[in-house]
Amino acid sequence: MCTCHIGTTAARLDASWWRINCRSKALGTLLHSASRPLFAGERSWPRRLAAEPLPARCCGVAKRASAAGRPSTGDARTCLRLVQSESARILARAVPSRLSNPRIPTTITYLLAAAALVVAFFAPGLPPLPAPWLGGSLLPESLQLADARASAGVFSLILACWIFHYLRRAFEAAFIAHYKRARPIIESVGAPVHYGLFAVWVGWALRPDHGYVPPALALVVAGAAIFVAGEVGNFVCHLKLRNLRPDGGSHHVIPRGFLFEYVSCPHYFFEIASWVGFFLMTATTPVAAFLAATLITLFARANQAHRRYLEEFDGDEGREKYPTSRKALIPFVF
């Protein structure tokens, strides 16, 4: 029986019939050469490689070989070639160094976003942004906060929500996520620019000394409740994603439980909820623009991740079948 993982297939080939038929130590050499650490200080690459699933073609060859008792030399060679090319593919997409490991750039990006808003909110000498196109409230006066005594508390709440979100994301990037894939350099450079500029714009637009007035208390409270639900849900999703690979491999696993039963990317769903809530709490142009940019990015990402799941878990050759009722981002809808 072929279990379709590099480690077990390699062991089977090597121990039972590989050397007899091919007189080749190529597989052993391959696993040895692959044992260089993924990140500095890590030594578990061979174990991770062993947990990687093999492509269907390789499983087919290995199954045929096992059924025949001893494989033909052609079968064995084909299998080695496939194991090698699959290992090379995994090595190529794995995170090769600290520089392309998303952990550090992502953590820095989120810390920058938290700090940039505070700087723009308090920095002296900034001119007011023209309302409502660049700053100020989008709401009519009747829907703006009338109670001057609540004003200080509302501003503190708005700032606290933004800062909390980005400190949480920085904490998750630094300590929760087990990144195994390199992030494109364009993303590592583009993300801090994107988040930094938006944070400055939002902080600048929300300044009370420039005439910005927050929405009425009911809207602020409703927005804050949605925001908190989004933050809690997002954090739970990231904990679940972290626990998907207890063996330390870099393969993907079908996530189960919580909102993962309904959508492939519930962490993006909750992220969107947070920014819908934040928009209700602020009702200003830069937050609307930030929400729109987040929607576009996360719909595209969720769609991509969902398609990848459907391809990886197609139910063929003993692979798991991805739940067909599961959507990409919005339960029952998309």
* Positions in the binding site for ligand NAP (CB under 6 A): 177-181, 187, 191, 234, 241, 244-245, 250, 252-253, 255, 267-268, 271, 297-298, 301
**Residue 71 φ then ψ, to 5°:** -80, 155
Q: Kind and range of the H or E element at 153?
A: helix 148-171
Which CB, 180 or 207, lies closer to ligand NAP?
180
Token pair 């089977």 is found at: 12
Quote the CA–CA distance of 108 and 171 in Å, as a whole number: 10
DSSP state, residue 69: S
Say if CB 60 and CB 317 are below 8 A apart: yes
**How many beta carbons lie within 10 A of that of residue 316, not counting itself?**
10
Which CB, 49 or 154, lies closer to ligand NAP?
49
Which CB, 179 or 299, lies closer to ligand NAP?
179
**How many beta carbons lie within 10 A of that of residue 5, not counting itself?**
18
∠ CA 185-266-264 to the nearest 5 degrees?
80
Which CB, 201 or 268, lies closer to ligand NAP?
268
Which CB, 121 or 309, lies closer to ligand NAP?
309
Which CB, 191 or 200, lies closer to ligand NAP?
191
DSSP state, residue 175: I
Minimum Å gap between C-beta 211 and ligand NAP is: 31
∠ CA 286-128-147 to the nearest 5 degrees?
80
Minimum Å gap between C-beta 58 and ligand NAP is: 21
Quote the CA–CA distance of 21 and 12 in Å, as a whole number: 13
Minimum Å gap between C-beta 105 and ligand NAP is: 10
Q: Helix, strand, coil proportions of the chain in percent (round to 5)?
A: 65, 5, 30
Minimum Å gap between C-beta 195 and ligand NAP is: 8
For helices 148-171 and 266-282, give the axis angle rounded to 10 degrees.
160
Which CB, 150 or 177, lies closer to ligand NAP?
177
Minimum Å gap between C-beta 179 and ligand NAP is: 4
Say if CB 95 and CB 181 are below 8 A apart: yes
Which CB, 203 or 249, lies closer to ligand NAP?
249
Minimum Å gap between C-beta 258 and ligand NAP is: 14
For 119, the token pair is 């700087």
**How many beta carbons lie within 10 A of that of residue 139, not counting itself?**
18
Minimum Å gap between C-beta 136 and ligand NAP is: 26
Minimum Å gap between C-beta 139 and ligand NAP is: 26
